[in-house]
Chains A and B, each alone.
Chain A
């Protein structure tokens, strides 16, 4: 028992040097200073992290504040059911439907391109390609999403549109089809990369089980791996949808700027995003109804993408918990 005081000594010394272990002694000044410094840094870092919440508050607040004055002037019923969108005309009409159909048609065209191709690429890279091929192809495909969208817009208008005009004679220069197709190619990597990650997370034993039952690679991929990775794959689809809805420059350049209530992708039509760009290019006085109309359009866009973002978030959470 006599060794105990001797043992206590180095611990107490350590405490005096400011190395933790509350020993009951009054903490020295240096120790308190370093504690204050540590706390100060932690608060700073927390504020940085919390700034992202401030940005969201800024987004939601601004959208609500500016569109509140819009909806004081235009009834929600007219906004949602009207079929004419001419906020800048002398006798303005405020039916958002033509912009929504424009957004939907370009999005659907993009998805028809991106989802099948992206899925096949993901299956190929995850289940078929040798790893050397995957190491090269994956970053190369990801470059597709690195290209500035304004360049894609140029490509859609100057390359894709003339190309499609050969397939569909009579196709106008500005049309939703070429914008949608190019947008679809742009979002292929969103689908393929995330889906491939989800499929590679499926344990090898599941595949081995299928092979042992005599299945070949493609059957294993489609009947075992794909369903097992489904929530991750669907999350990638949802990300693609949300990207396509919010994409701006490609449609603003190549799909035309006229609101047009149609479901035919061969026609030109403005999307919600293209309308916002078009109005912003002009010089609208702050507080005018035209100025407020872009915020009303923005709210609509924000709600549409928010729904898909939340869905995707829930699915990703689930996908993480499976294995």
Chain B
């Protein structure tokens, strides 16, 4: 009998020990995240002020700012979102609602799964060879935006499909029973009901695109840029201009990379400042996505 009790005690101890190990391992990630944020805050907070946000980069660390790079990031994101969202959502709708089970569909599905695993820098090489030199789009905002759009396309497609999949079949059947055509079902029922899930995926995809550095370096984004792209609004008719699409650009992560690889400690402080802006935007986007997901989950009970 004492043997029995000893075994039980031993097994309980095993569970207890693993519990501790599990918590420790979980903490490794959380603590690192905390250390990273504190490190950035301690180094970069001193640099974060209005002048930093509204100054061009400079040879002098104290005068350098991130104006051209955050404007660049904003413009690139605009092109990326305008390309990836319609393309990705349409593709998701096709695969989930229209596609028949045949080899073409199969090919597309395998292809998307594979694209999701291609390293981002490979997209940069593709854009360099194809967009920059074959299609002659140059090292422009347009090329950069398209590159990142291709990169996040699989994420948007997968998110759209998952959102559509959660809608019960009964909704579709009810709409068909009332005489809806396929597109009417999609347009009036499936799209609105899946909006929450799709938005979550889109925001997460964009937050990833904002931090992407390697593909944009590869296509030849500039690391030092002391001017802004032309304004999208002009004083002469037709008042709108797409000149900015052809402008050279820099983005926040590239600016940060440029500063962090300098030996001068003053520039490293600038890098921390830029990193702080970058990470706040990323975490904010992720928080919004989590919030939307949470609210959708709570609100919808099929």
**What CA separation (Å) do A223 and B121 show in the bound complex?**
40
In the complex, B163 has a CB within 8 A of chain A: no
Chain B residue contacts of A302, Cβ below 8 A: 118-119, 122
Known: A44-B90, A154-B271. A313 touches B26 (CB 8 A): no
Instruction: Give the residues in chain B near A276, CB-CB below 8 Å.
Output: 121, 124-125, 214, 218
Pick the residue among A45, A65, A147, A301 that contacts B119 (CB under 8 A). A301
**Interface-forming stretch among B46-54, B233-241, B252-260?**
B252-260
Which of B126, B154, B278 is in CB contact (< 8 Å) with A59?
A: B126
Give the shortest distance, in Å, between B257 (CB) and chain A (any CB).
Answer: 5
- A52–B129 CB distance below 8 A: no
Per-residue 0/1 for A202-220: is the Cβ within 8 Å of any B Cβ (1 yes, 0 no)?
0000000000000011110
Q: Are B117 and A242 in contact (CB under 8 A)?
A: yes
**Is the beta-carbon distance between B253 and A148 smaller than 8 angstroms?**
yes
- 8 Å CB contact of B260 from A51, A116, A143, A253: A253
* Closest Cβ neighbor of A221 among chain B residues: B18
Q: Which residues on the B side are within 8 Å of A147 (C-beta)?
A: 33, 36, 211, 279, 282
* Cβ-based interface call for A263 (8 A): no
**Which residues of the other chain, A, contact B282 by a CB distance below 8 angstroms?**
146-148
Known: A150-B213, A159-B39, A249-B257. A52 touches B208 (CB 8 A): no
Q: How far is the CB of B100 from chain A (nearest CB, A)?
A: 11
A40–chain B nearest beta-carbon distance, Å: 9
Q: Are B33 and A140 in contact (CB under 8 A)?
A: yes
Q: Are B154 and A139 in contact (CB under 8 A)?
A: no
Is B157 on the interface with A (CB-CB < 8 A)? yes
Chain B residues with Cβ below 8 Å from A313 are 110, 113-114
Chain A interface size, under 10 / 10 to 19 / 20 to 34 / 35 or more: 35 or more
The yes or no answer to A66 lying at the interface (CB within 8 A) is yes
Expressed in whole angstroms, the Cα–Cα distance for A252 and B218 within the complex equals: 13
The reply on A120 being an interface residue by CB < 8 A is yes
Q: Contacts A52-B154, A139-B290, A313-B113 given; indicate if A46 touches B32 (C-beta within 8 A).
A: no
Number of interface residues, chain B, beta carbon within 8 A: 90
Distance of A196 Cα from B107 Cα, bound (Å): 29
How many angstroms from the CA of A312 to the CA of B118 in the assembled complex?
A: 13
Q: How far is the CA of A239 from the CA of B36 in the complex (A)?
A: 24
Tell me, rounded to whole Å, the shortest Cβ–Cβ distance linking A198 to chain B.
Answer: 16
- Name the distance in Å between B185's Cβ and chain A's nearest Cβ: 11
In the bound complex, how far is the Cα of B118 from the Cα of A247, in angstroms?
Answer: 10
Give the complex CA separation of A137 and B290 in angstroms.
13
Residue of A nearest to B36 (CB): A155
Expressed in whole angstroms, the Cα–Cα distance for A46 and B92 within the complex equals 10
Interchain CB contact under 8 A, A121 and B33? no
Within the complex, which residue of B40, B95, B128, B260 is in contact with A153, where a contact is CB–CB below 8 Å?
B260
Which residues in A have their C-beta under 8 angstroms from that of B123? 59
Q: Which residue of B91, B117, B125, B182 contacts A49 across the interface (Cβ within 8 Å)?
A: B91
CB of B188 within 8 Å of the partner chain: no
Asked if A246 CB lies within 8 Å of chain B CBs, one says: yes
Answer whether A66 and B210 are a contact pair too, CB < 8 Å, given A157-B260, A305-B117: no
Rounded to whole angstroms, the CA-CA distance of A306 and B257 in the bound complex is: 28
Q: Mark A150-162, 1 if CB is under 8 A from B, else 0.
A: 1111110111000
Asked, given contacts A52-B115, A216-B11, A239-B117, whether A253 binds B125 with beta carbons under 8 Å apart, the answer is no
Residues of A within 8 A of B134 (CB): 62
Chain B residues whose CB sits within 8 angstroms of the CB of A14 once the complex forms: 179
The reply on A228 being an interface residue by CB < 8 A is no
Instruction: Kindly identify, within residues 277 to 308 of chain A, every residue whose CB is under 8 Å from any CB belonging to chain B.
Output: 277, 280-281, 286, 294-295, 298, 301-302, 305-306, 308
Which residues of B sit under 8 angstroms from A58, Cβ to Cβ?
Answer: 126, 130
The residues of A that contact B279 with a CB separation of less than 8 Å are: 147-148, 151
Q: Which residue of B lies closest to A66 (CB)?
A: B129
A245 CB–B CB distance under 8 Å:
yes
In angstroms, Cα B286 to Cα A151, docked, is: 16
B5 to chain A, nearest CB (A): 14
With both chains docked as a complex, state the minimum distance between the C-beta of B243 and any C-beta of chain A, in angstroms. 24
Q: Contact between A185 and B118 (Cβ–Cβ < 8 Å)?
A: no
Which residues B142-158 have CB closer than 8 A to chain A? 150, 153-154, 157
Which of B12, B23, B33, B125 lies in contact with A216, CB distance below 8 A?
B12
Assess the A46–B153 pair: CB atoms within 8 A: no
List the B side residues contacting A219 at CB < 8 Å: 11, 14
Cβ of A236 to closest chain B Cβ, rounded Å: 12
Asked whether A149 is an interface residue with its Cβ less than 8 Å from the other chain, the reply is yes
Tell me if B183 and A41 are in contact (CB < 8 A). Answer: yes
* A171 lies within 8 A of chain B by Cβ: no
* One of A72-80, A82-90, A94-102, A122-130 contacting the partner: A122-130
| Residues of B close to A52: CB separation below 8 A | 91, 108, 111-112, 115, 153-154, 157
- CB-nearest residue of chain B to A159: B39
Alpha-carbon gap, A154 to B23, bound state (A): 27
- Which chain A residues numbered 171 to 205 have a C-beta less than 8 Å away from chain B? 185, 188-189
A45 touches B90 (CB 8 A): yes
Task: Say whether B74 faces chain A, with CB atoms less than 8 Å apart.
Answer: no
Which residues does chain B contribute within 8 Å of A305, judged by CB atoms?
Answer: 117-119, 122
> Chain A: residues with CB nearer than 8 A to chain B?
14, 17, 19-20, 34, 37-38, 41-42, 44-46, 48-53, 55-56, 58-59, 61-63, 65-66, 116-117, 120-121, 123-125, 128-129, 137, 139-141, 143-144, 146-155, 157-159, 185, 188-189, 216-219, 221, 239, 242, 245-249, 252-253, 273, 276-277, 280-281, 286, 294-295, 298, 301-302, 305-306, 308-310, 312-313, 316
Besides A147-B279, A148-B282, A246-B121, 11 new A-B residue pairs in contact (Cβ under 8 A), listed by A number: A55-B153, A56-B115, A65-B129, A121-B26, A121-B29, A124-B22, A128-B15, A128-B19, A150-B211, A155-B40, A247-B119
